[in-house]
Amino acid sequence: MTAHGTTQRTAISDLIARFDATVSALDPARFSGPEFMAIVSQIEAFGRRADALRVRVAAEATRRVDGPVDTLGAAGYASAEDGIAKLTGASETDAARRIRVGLGVVPGASLTGSPTAPRHPVVAAAVATGALGIEAADILMKGLDSVASRVDPVTLAETEESLVGLAVGSDTQPPLGVDLVRIQLATFLLRIEPDGARPREKRAQKSRRLTFGVETVDGLIPVSGLLMAEVGATFKRLVDAHGRKVAFLDGAETAPAASDDRTPPQRRHDTLADILSAASRVKDAPELAGSAPAVLVAVTQSTLDDGRGVGFIDGHVTPISIDTVERLIDSRGLQAVALGPTGRVLALGSTQRCFTSAQRRAITVRDGGCVIPGCTTPAGWCEVHHVIPWRAGGQTHTDNGVLLCWGHHQRIDSGPWRLSMPDGVPHVRGPGQVEWTPTGQSRVRTLLSRTG
């Protein structure tokens, strides 16, 4: 232990003791409104000063990885990230960010060993004074580095100064949150890049992807990826539109909607299911093995007859319940295949239990969309459901079919809503209701009822 190290550790220990004494007397509940807002800002500034020290130490760690003695490597750490993470309890992701920011804001060294200015001097000064946090600094430096080879140094330096000024705020302008820093950065980079947005879009095109992970034991398929801006925006608009209320329905024309207990991610999942269901029915959709793309499910006749057991989706190992099998048959129909003892196909029946295109059009005119009150899913995204199940004697007839979105179709047998079809008109009975209520969102039916 060097004398310098001993002195510095003692000073930091004293600082921590004074900090603890101050914090122990702090009671946020006793502050007035203006005092509370001021103390929040002060505490954040204090934390950012500690962050500035963290990134300096993290940058130094990169110099102490290799060597026979007195290094992280000699102490058993595999890398600077590994050392910082294990010494501090931070994640390796956070450790990597500390190192990345630290290398951008600490002074460098020339070939002769003399100190050089930090790579991002304006960011460095703001981090050192606690005016700029680590996350915002990381965003700014990565963005500036991404265009450094294509933008002249003077323009790059002016851009850095402007962005840091906006991020930390001034006497007349408040500081920007991290999300706004990211937006401002993107705007500035588009202005200073010689080719504008083209290089960025080319990079995005190369990086776009959609991947499917390994199926979980519960039958869930992990999905991850990066969508091009217009693709992601289109999907978000579809999700937003999916949740809008239908303007042509008066409050008296539909029963009160039950509260939707789905989380936002679950609603997005169900919206995607509706979109995929609609896309598979498009007339000009690409074919798979000579037919419109559809899920292939294998199930035995005895399972269908008994209403017990499971089926299997082609290409997936996790069994699905008979309820899911019945719902898929509602949407795509049933085709019987007779197999011999050796697995040979002996007979192939015609498709049954599937509403025809003509029947679907008629049901669409009648229902207008998902018939569950409060649901605004349009008809084109819906599936047709047998109100009386096939195995209970229900027919594939317009008087026994209603439109349901994917989410309500999945839960119709276990959820709070019940359906009936007196005189071929959909009626629902919601949670806590005794009476059956006519339902649907068809403009045609609404106009007919108003004109008599």
Which H or E element spans position 450? helix 443-451
Q: What Cα–Cα distance (Å) separates residue 422 from each residue in 9, 49, 109, 399, 419?
A: 83, 72, 85, 8, 10
Joined together, the tokens standing for residue 245 give 């209320």
Mean pLDDT lowest among 24-33, 153-162, 197-206, 419-428: 197-206
Query: What's the whole-number mean pLDDT along residues 135-162?
Result: 92
pLDDT at 121: 93
Q: What are the pLDDT digits (tens) for 343-395? A: 676 565 556 667 888 888 899 888 888 899 888 888 888 888 989 887 778 88
| 285 conformational bin, left if phi > 0, alpha if psi -120 to 50, beta if neither | beta
Q: pLDDT higher for 245 or 104?
A: 104
pLDDT at 172: 85
Q: What are the pLDDT digits (tens) for 48-73? A: 888 999 999 898 888 888 765 567 87
pLDDT at 61: 87
pLDDT at 253: 42
pLDDT at 252: 37
Q: pLDDT higher for 289 or 385?
A: 385
Mean pLDDT lowest among 79-93, 167-181, 293-307, 330-344: 330-344
pLDDT at 335: 63
Q: What Cα–Cα distance (Å) separates residue 385 from each residue in 199, 300, 369?
A: 49, 21, 12
**Across all residues in the chain, what is the average pLDDT?**
80
Q: What are the pLDDT digits (tens) for 93-109? A: 889 999 999 998 888 77
Joined together, the tokens standing for residue 91 give 């994640």
Query: What's the whole-number mean pLDDT along residues 293-314?
Result: 72
When pLDDT is cut at 50, 70 and 90, the band that residue 254 belongs to is very low
